[in-house]
Chain A
Amino acid sequence: MPPRSNDDPRRHVQILPERVGNVSGNDFPGHYPGEDHSWNLKRFKENLIVSLQRLTPSTLEFDLVGVDASIANALRRVLIAEVPTVAIEDVYVWNNTSIMQDEVLCHRLGLVPLKIDPREMIFRENPNAGALDTDTVVFQLRVKCDRQPGTQGETDPKRKYWDSDVYTGMLEWEPAGAQKTKWKRKEPKPVNPDILLCKLRPGQLIDLTCFARKGTGADHAKFSPVATASYRLLPHIIIRSPIPLEHQQKFVQSFPPGVIGIEKDKRGQPQCVVKNSRRDTVSREVLRHAEFEDKVQLTRIRDHFIFNIESVGQYRPEDLVPEAIKILLNKISAVEAGLDKLFDPEV
């Protein structure tokens, strides 16, 4: 079977001046008479493309081609709400004389991303049972602000006081049970040590104990391992007829830089060509000008998803997708086990 072409109109979502057209998928049985579109793993594998595009210490961009929107969306939803992380859940405030109320300070602590591998911890089964070293990580925060001696006339609080700013880096891990040996070289700590939690003035102090546990974004957004996990469809621009020389510069400027280029054709005439449609933001600017009417068609490829994932820091960005797929596979197994139980109560 020849590789599928981006020019196949069946794969196009039309982008029209006032609306989008052909949004729904059409590759299901019974849609086209005489064509077999039933599920076929071999055919699926042939058409499937997963290709990483860009990887940085915190972000990942990859293409997922050849799947239905429901699959891409399932992946996105699991990344946001069901891949677990560890975050502060309970805070015991022994003393807090700062101007920030206890509950506000505790809420801020809960949102701090913690560098703890969630795969090495278990979910706390009963929230009323005692904490275990396998399901809880304890942090202490003890800060007191004091005046630095000999700083008369100084106006900068950083030079005038000690510990007037409370940062996440001041959270101190308190190992319990087997944790000390287990995390010898990767001690639990906040991902960013320089998040400002609160400000103090001489005499004010904070003394509290935090219990962090494993949870999912479905429960609270603080457990979400991604800052963003989103996808967009690959833009595809079709130039239907040559753009006249006098309009070429305007045509190029109707798109973001790098999308359209001007190249010499066989007869040495300059022509507008699509250089890199991935960079297009699909602003539809080109559709506003009468001179380009019927000369250009804007589309997107319906089954070409460009994923953008930004990790908060608990996972490496490239580890997030395999984790999400693992969770989806567990879901499937859970439903299968439920079906078995439904029809064979003895199991």
Chain B
Amino acid sequence: MAETSQVNITSGLDRAGTLQQSVSAGVIHDKITILPGHEPDYSACTFCLWNEDHTLGNALRPDVEFCGYSAPHPSDPKIHLRVQMYDNLSAVECLRKALKNLRELFQSIDSAYSKSLQQGKYIQEDDVDVRAVVAETLEERARAMDIS
């Protein structure tokens, strides 16, 4: 009975702490957690993203008072993303917006790429025939030797 009531009062804030503990215990972790010590209104948070690295960390820096990321240790497959907002806005909403923008960005790159591929206005040629180049070089060298 006591256990169920405890679950009921667990807010997102406390849940972040619980998840952090479960991680250190070696339990399968959630994709994203909020590290302890964030502002109660989520205006400044450090997110912890599991199984991500510089690839996503560097691409994902929303425009705010402060934003940065770090990889705490190269052996840990995680990154910490710090977001601090002006005017007590929600850093979580900001991250959602940043993710949405990033998706739109990559989708536009994707469509621009396929458009360029379809247009076919590029040089199409065969690979360099390494064997032929080597043979030619050797021949040239032999000729140079003969002359000298």
List the interface of chain A (C-beta within 8 A of B): 28-29, 38-39, 41, 44-45, 48-59, 62, 64, 67, 70-71, 73-75, 77-78, 81-82, 318, 321-322, 325, 328-329, 331-339, 341-343, 345
**Assembled-state Cα–Cα distance A335/B108 (Å):** 20
A81 to B77, CA, bound (A): 14
The 7 closest A-B pairs by CB, nearest first: A338-B31, A338-B32, A50-B112, A52-B122, A70-B58, A74-B59, A77-B55
Check B117 against A44 for contact (C-beta < 8 Å). no
Asked if residues B108 and A48 are in contact (CB atoms below 8 Å), the reply is yes
- Least Cβ–Cβ distance between A10 and chain B, in angstroms: 18
| In the bound complex, CA of A70 to CA of B98 (Å) | 14
Contact A332 B102 (CB under 8 A): yes
Known: A322-B110, A335-B56. Contact between A28 and B117, CB under 8 A? no
Contacts of B15 in A (CB 8 A): 342, 345
Binding site for A on B (CB under 8 A): 10, 12, 15-16, 19, 30-34, 49, 52-56, 58-59, 61, 63, 92, 95-96, 99, 101-110, 112-117, 121-127
Complex Cα spacing A39 to B31, Å:
26
Contact across chains for A342 and B32 when beta carbons are under 8 A apart: yes
A163 vs chain B, min Cβ distance (A): 23
Chain A residues with CB under 8 A of B96: 336, 339
With known contacts A70-B58, A343-B12, A334–B31 Cβ distance under 8 A: yes
Instruction: Enumerate chain A residues within 8 angstroms of B31, measured Cβ to Cβ.
Output: 334-335, 337-338, 341
Are A55 and B122 neighbours in the complex by a CB distance under 8 Å?
Answer: yes
Bound CA span A50–B121, Å: 12
Chain B residues near A318 (CB-CB < 8 A): 117
| Contact of B92 with A70 in the complex, beta carbons under 8 Å | no
Q: How far is the CB of B56 from chain A (nearest CB, A)?
A: 5
B63 touches A329 (CB 8 A): no
On chain B, the residues within 8 Å of A57 by CB distance are: 126-127
B54 contacts A77, CB within 8 Å?
Answer: yes
Q: In whole angstroms, how far apart are the Cα atoms of A39 and B62 in the complex?
A: 9
Are B30 and A58 in touch, CB under 8 angstroms?
A: no
A44 CA to B32 CA, complexed, in Å: 28
Interface contact B105-A325, CB-CB below 8 Å: no
13 contacts between A and B (CB under 8 A): A39-B63, A44-B108, A49-B112, A51-B121, A51-B122, A53-B122, A53-B123, A67-B105, A74-B59, A328-B59, A331-B56, A341-B30, A342-B15
Tell whether A336 pairs with B126 under 8 Å between CB atoms, given A50-B113, A331-B52: no
Distance A262 CA – B12 CA, assembled complex (angstroms) = 69
- The CA-CA distance from A81 to B30 in the complex, in Å, is 22
Inter-chain contact A56/B56, CB cutoff 8 Å: no
* A55 lies within 8 A of B124 (CB): yes
A67 touches B109 (CB 8 A): yes
Most interface-central of A48, A67, A342 (chain B CB within 10 A): A342
Taking the nearest CB of chain A, how far is it from the CB of B50, in angstroms? Answer: 8
- Shortest beta-carbon distance, A35 to chain B, in Å? 13
Contacts of A44 in B (CB 8 A): 105, 108
Task: Check A55 against B59 for contact (C-beta < 8 Å).
Answer: no
Write out the residue numbers on chain A whose beta carbons fall within 8 Å of the beta carbon of B33. Answer: 342
Chain B, residue nearest A318 (CB)? B117
Q: Are A339 and B113 in touch, CB under 8 angstroms?
A: no
Please tell me if the beta carbons of B125 and A335 are within 8 angstroms of each other in the complex: no
Q: A339: which of B95, B101, B122, B126 is its contact (CB, 8 Å)?
A: B95
